[in-house]
Amino acid sequence: MVHQPVQFYSCFISYSTRDGEFVDRLYADLQVKGVRCWFAPEDLKIGDRFRQRIDDAIRLHDKLLIVLSENSVRSAWVREEVESCLEREQRENRTVLFPIRLDQAVMNTAEAWAASIRRQRHIGDFSDWKRHDAYQEGFKRLLKDLKPEKEGK
């Protein structure tokens, strides 16, 4: 039996529910392209303990895809997810956090965790996501970056 290499990293999507329209679209498009995602509306079961399920999901997925926006920068939940992810990066000595932004909030915020991302990471730009071509361009770049690098490169 021939094993197919993993085509994409698996992702945990961290976001504010107030950005649901964008995240629903992104999640659907990632699913169509074969990217396995943990997405709270689909993956949380009735009765699950939020914090434990979320911590487990962050630990079990290759990447944390954070949707940065005015809403998420103010979210204590998102901050905790990012902090958990950054601890994992320290432990495993590899990049896990994949930031994308919907607006300028992360570029202007005084929130320490978000300002740290702004200073240390390239952030994918989806600020014009409602325009089809701009969204497709950003999505194409995201897909390319979600592919694991070939071994031996």
Q: What pTM did the predictor assign?
A: 0.84
Distance CA 63, CA 10 (A): 6
Q: Percent of the chain, pLDDT > 90?
A: 54
Residues 6+ apart with CB under 8 A from 10: 35, 36, 37, 38, 60, 61, 62, 63
pLDDT for the residue 33 = 92
User: Using CA atoms, how far apart are residues 113 and 83, in angstroms rounded to an integer?
Assistant: 8
For residue range 75-107, list pLDDT tens digits in order: 988 998 899 889 889 999 989 999 999 999 999
Domain annotation for the chain: domains and CATH numbers:
11-146 (3.40.50.10140)
Is residue 52 over pLDDT 80?
Answer: no
Cα separation of 69 and 75, whole Å?
A: 10
**pLDDT value of residue 123:** 96
Write phi, then psi, for 139 (nearest 5 degrees).
-65, -40
**How many Cβ atoms from other residues are within 10 Å of residue 55's Cβ?**
14
